Amino acid sequence: MIRGLKTVKILLDEQQLNEGVEKLAHSINQSYGSRPLTIIGIMTGSVILLADLVRKLDMPMRVGVLQTTSYHGTQRGPLTIDADMMLDVTQRDVLLIDDIFDTGHTLTAVVEKVRQLGPKSIQSAVLLRKTGQQQVAGQPDFIAFDIPDEFVVGYGLDYNDEYRNLSYIACLEPEDLAVSDQGS
Ligand code: 5GP
Ligand code: MG
């Protein structure tokens, strides 16, 4: 039992995640071939996916990160993007990696920000897409799983910065949120 969680509803277990990331990597390998890539992980939610995915890719690559923040608990706050730590992307083929595509506002804003830096191309890959939640025109180029509209944690995704280390993806139930909010 995970600390603080009353019930654990596993949506994707370790094996399913591994297979999904394998397929994602296969599609990316097919698409880019041996073209060198600049991979940018959107922190912090993509940290586990980034580590697993890059080890399944075949092309020469540089790996960097940028930081976004929009959630506080399950409440959405203002979106901030901090690209100070990011690699130079000018004239590079860039692949952005994020954990989840929900409304789509985060990835859309990051694509716009990176586009202003003059890359040769930009594509994006996400682990999860929430069905029917999108409020933007674009979609990620590579998607491992479509999931129902539930708040999920694990495999990099957090609730108040906890649960990122779970090796599976679980839904946080309302009673779990109440427990976690008490900090138990
Ligand atoms: P969007 O801007 O597409 O609505 O949201 C994208 C960001 O919100 C993701 O990068 C992720 O950090 C966060 N997010 C959206 N849905 C969930 C969720 O179900 N669980 C967690 N932990 N984060 C989420
Ligand atoms: Mg995120």
DSSP string, 137-178: S---SEEEEEE-S--EEBTTB-BTTBSTT-SSEEEPPHHHHH
User: Tell me, what's the pLDDT at 124?
Assistant: 98
Cβ-based burial of 178 (10 A; exposed 0-12, middle 13-18, buried ≥19): exposed
Q: Is 153 in the pocket of ligand 1 (CB under 6 A)?
A: yes
Question: Per-residue confidence of the chain (184 residues) as pLDDT tens digits?
Answer: 566 666 789 999 999 999 999 999 999 999 999 999 999 999 999 999 999 999 999 999 999 999 998 767 777 778 888 877 778 999 999 999 999 999 999 999 999 999 999 999 999 999 999 998 899 999 999 999 999 999 999 999 999 999 999 999 999 887 777 655 544 3
User: Ligand 1 within 6 A of 111 CB?
Assistant: no
43-52 pLDDT per residue, tens: 999 999 999 9
Q: How high is the pLDDT of residue 157?
A: 97
CB 169 within 8 A of CB 152: yes
Q: HSE of 17 in the Cβ direction (CA atoms, 13 Å)?
A: 22
Distance 46 CA to ligand 2 centre (A): 7
| Known active-site residue 52 | no
The C-alpha atoms of residue 47 and residue 98 are separated, in whole angstroms, by 9
Atom of ligand 1 nearest to the CA of 159: 22
Residue 108: count of CB within 10 angstroms of its CB: 18
Return the residue whose CA atom lies nearest to atom 12 of ligand 1: 45
Q: Is 164 in the pocket of ligand 1 (CB under 6 A)?
A: no
